[in-house]
Structure 1
Amino acid sequence: MALANRIFFRLYQCANMLHKTGTRAIDSEGLTTQQWAVLGALSRDRVKDGMSIGDLARYLMVSRQNLSGVLSRMERDGHVCMAADTRDRRSRLVKMTETGRYVWQMGAQPKIYDYYEEVLTGFSINDMTHTLHYLLKLLDNMERIDKAQSESRGDGH
């Protein structure tokens, strides 16, 4: 258990440092790491017509409540827009605006790539592959736990 505690504490520290140093890396673009994640999710070709707020929350693995505040600020700043889904009027779609796309492609992405390069200094391709493998294993286990907890609470999420 001592080793498990060290792993999860270091994971917690890494997440906090990602928010802190990642936000500093892109703060000149007026973005946070949460906004970076939203723009990254919305920049994918398969969602060029937008994503429902629920789908975006599930993709990012955040609550709709937490996402709502981030999206409000991003809409205010002109990075995203929200509109009714033409297929389901009860659902709202989030879409990256042209301004958001410009900020993402021309401003944020080069800084993000520089950040990745700096953070991954000393990592070989093999190191990165193994790290990704183990993070995916952790994530799979956490998703399984989340599903079981949701089912036991009866919320079905």
Structure 2
Amino acid sequence: MDQVTRPTAAAEARDEASPLRLWLRLFATANMVEAELSRRLRAEFSMTLPRFDLMAQLAKSPEPLALGELSRRLMVTNGNVTGLVDRLVEDGLVERRVARNDRRSALVELTRDGRALFEVMAAAHKGWVGELFDGLDDAARATLSQLLREARTSVQEKL
């Protein structure tokens, strides 16, 4: 009869600390949070997460942004940004105009209605994120934040 071998505590600890296991947990957690935030934005505001993210970039900018700058900040193609902006313009949430110094370039900014809606959505978004992480106390969140900062630095050094 075959005997089942069980991993030792040391082997289990090594597995828990493996970079692959870490990556899979980070990825799974980020995907779960993103999916839930996306679901809530759609249910509460009929808003997609990419449109919300674009509006967030505009809200934090003191001046209108060029489409290329939005693409860079959102890490998506110019075509993706153009499509998002087109829909937000149709909804009256952003305004697009030709740049004075470069007639080939368009600048985008939130409208008054867009800014007002974004402020409501941002407050809800912040509350939802807080709710999703309220199973961790302040000390655990601070530790996790520091560890993720260190992980980001480690990855950036390799790039």
- TM-score tier after normalising by the smaller chain length: 0.7 to 0.9
Gaps of 5+ in 2: 1-13
Alpha-carbon deviation of 1:101? 0.8
Q: Is the 8 A contact 2:55 2:118 kept in 1?
A: yes
What is the DSSP-based 3-state SS (H/G/I as helix, E as strand, rest coil) of the residue aligned with 1:82? Answer: strand
- TM-score, reference length from structure 2: 0.73
Q: Which has the greater radius of gyration?
A: 2
Check 1:37–1:144 CA distance in 2 against 1; reply closer, same or farther (3 A cut): farther
Alpha-carbon deviation of 1:90? 2.2
Q: Is the 8 A contact 1:83 1:92 kept in 2?
A: yes
Q: Is the 8 A contact 1:25 1:111 kept in 2?
A: no
User: CA separation in 2, counterparts of 1:38 and 1:143?
Assistant: 28
Q: Is the 8 A contact 1:57 1:64 kept in 2?
A: yes
- TM-score, reference length from structure 1: 0.74
Matches within 5 A, 1:4-153: 4-27=19-42, 28-44=44-60, 47-106=61-120, 108-139=121-152, 141=155, 145=159
Q: Is the 8 A contact 1:22 1:32 kept in 2?
A: no
Identical pairs, percent: 24
User: CA separation in 2, counterparts of 1:136 and 1:19?
Assistant: 19
Check 1:17–1:49 CA distance in 2 against 1; reply closer, same or farther (3 A cut): same
